Amino acid sequence: MKSITKKISIVILSVGMAINFSSCEATKNANNKQKGAAIGAAGGAILGAILGNNIGKGGNGELGAVIGGVVGGGAGVLIGKKMDKQAQKIEEEIPGAVVERIDDGIVVTFDENSGVHFATNKYAIVGESEVLLNKLSSILQEYPDTNVLVVGHTDSTGSDTYNMTLSQNRAESVTNYFTKTKSLNAARFTTKWFGEEQPVADNNTEEGRSKNRRVNIGIVPNEKMKEEAKKEAGSN
């Protein structure tokens, strides 16, 4: 199994979309404490992975509410095992993805070398991107007790307004592929976009811009999974 980097090099704007086990390096490197501490307990470290360097911008409170708090104790251990298995499956099925286990969730990142691509200034999902999204859809269907957050980003090339719209269109294309093309439950999905506002790298270099063109997918336990884990663990 390939080693998953701690580094949050994220998906794509030019591509699009959007997601390890105790034996995997990704699971061993489970927490991104540095970015998590910056946004506090409301969203947890997973938000830092999704939003990048500028996590003080508006809208993060809403995303924190979507993600929810971390479940501790025995219930948290049970949830962690389930999420580890799901992350491992994603890592095995989609080897180009950067898969990170963070808090109770999973963050999946595709960059421009990961095989999921949009044409320049386009947002239609075609070709190899469909193949990878189909694999991810099957895994999400296999693990139904999770919610999915799809977040779109761009680099700083072009106007703020254009980039915001492009990031929205690409993020929504990913969500729509899951919910309309693959018929996954739309209630599981939340879609957000930030244009160029949340870079993870330097927009003054081509390498940095390619990292900022991304869509992140966050996968988190839903209330059903949490409640079942608490009952199994004997928690109140």
Q: What is the mean pLDDT of each run of 10 residues along the chain (236 residues)?
A: 35 33 37 35 70 61 80 92 96 87 89 68 85 93 96 91 95 95 97 92 90 88 94 81
- The helix (H) or strand (E) run that includes residue 64 is helix 60-67
Tell me the chain's radius of gyration from C-alpha atoms.
16
Cβ atoms of residues 74 and 125 within 8 Å: no
- Check residue 53 and give its pLDDT: 63
- Check residue 4 and give its pLDDT: 38
Residue at token pair 């209630």:
187
- Check residue 12 and give its pLDDT: 32
- Treating both helix axes as pointing N-terminal to C-terminal, what angle do 73-93 and 128-142 enclose, rounded to 10 degrees? 150
Can you list the positions of beta strands (E) in 80-184? 98-102, 105-109, 146-152
- Check residue 20 and give its pLDDT: 30
Cβ atoms of residues 182 and 30 within 8 Å: no
Classify strands 215-221 and 105-109 as parallel, antiparallel or unpaired: antiparallel
Type of residue numbered 45:
A
| Prediction pTM value | 0.79
Name residue 217's beta-bridge partners: 108, 150
3-class DSSP state of 191: strand
> In this structure, what token pair is assigned to residue 25?
């390096």
Other C-beta atoms closer than 10 Å to the C-beta of 180 total: 10
Which CATH fold would you assign to the domain 25-233? 60s Ribosomal Protein L30; Chain: A; (3.30.1330)
- The helix (H) or strand (E) run that includes residue 49 is helix 45-51
Cβ atoms of residues 59 and 217 within 8 Å: no
- Check residue 115 and give its pLDDT: 60
- Check residue 114 and give its pLDDT: 66
> In this structure, what token pair is assigned to residue 223?
């209330």
Domains in the chain: boundaries: 25-233
SS3 letters for 119-146?
CCCCCCCCCHHHHHHHHHHHHHHHCCCE
